[in-house]
Homo-oligomer: A and B are copies of this chain.
Amino acid sequence: MRDMAGSREGAAIVPSVARAARILELLASAPEGMTLSEVARALGLPPSSALAICTTLRQAGLAHRTPERRYMLGPGILALAERYTRGGLPALFMRACRDALPDARETVVLAVREWHEVVYLAQRPGNRPLAVNYHLGMRLPAHTTASGKAALSTVSDAEVREIYSLPSSSGVDVDLLIEDLRKTRDRGYAIDDEETAPGMVCLGVPITVPGASTTTAAVAVSLVKSTVDDEVLSEYVGVMRALAETLSTDPSPAE
């Protein structure tokens, strides 16, 4: 227990692990990498302690050191992310749907944004006659889908411009998209108003990560536009927010 400290709520946290996580976040925001002294300074640590944590992260594949001795995120991050989107997140989503949405009328989906597209990872299909059916692994443009706009709304305007500067994303009016994302941020949820299919309205809410400046996952529900009034809208916004909250990381120390 020697390297643990009590937190506000009485649960123990491990300072060196918290520092390691902070270093990963720092490296994520430094595409050119950071020197050991930059890392040490940012964390207010002696260089020897920063070196020990960075070395441990490198051994685990989570950090990389260039020949010029700059630290960057390591490829182990990719391997973890692939497992996360193929295993844990869809399983969590299906369980949360079972618990939180006993009324299975409308189709609810889980998607991750990849560049300017969204990939559907899981769906809880609706049981009403006109319910939409998504194919898992299906890709749609992020800028016209509720889940895509929800995920993009957590990204800075500059990053949106960068994403849409790719040749494969040409033809998108970035100014219009940025305007839409601002409204999305203000409202707290994204709307796809017949942009994917005529007569269909979708609501999307991003899955948030404390401490991360961007998130790449979102949940969305598809509704028949003619059935949606203010009351229905606000009911589903509430449901989707609750679902996103269940899937977001709970930062409370607990037990």
Interface residues of A (CB under 8 A from B): 1-4, 7, 11-14, 16-22, 24-25, 27-33, 46, 48-49, 51-53, 55-67, 72-89, 91-92, 95, 99, 112, 114-116, 119, 135-139, 162, 166-169, 207-217, 246-251, 253-255
Contacts and interface: CB of A to CB of B under 8 A. Distances in A.
A56 B14 contact: yes
Contacts of A249: 58, 61, 63-64, 74-76
Contacts of A168: 135, 137-139
Q: Is the interface of A mostly helix, strand, loop or mixed?
A: mixed
Contact of A88 (B21, B53, B64, B87): B64
Contact of A11 (B24, B55, B62, B89): B55
A1 B56 contact: no
Nearest to A167: B135
- Which residue among A86, A212, A216 has the maximum number of chain B CB atoms within 10 Å of its CB? A212
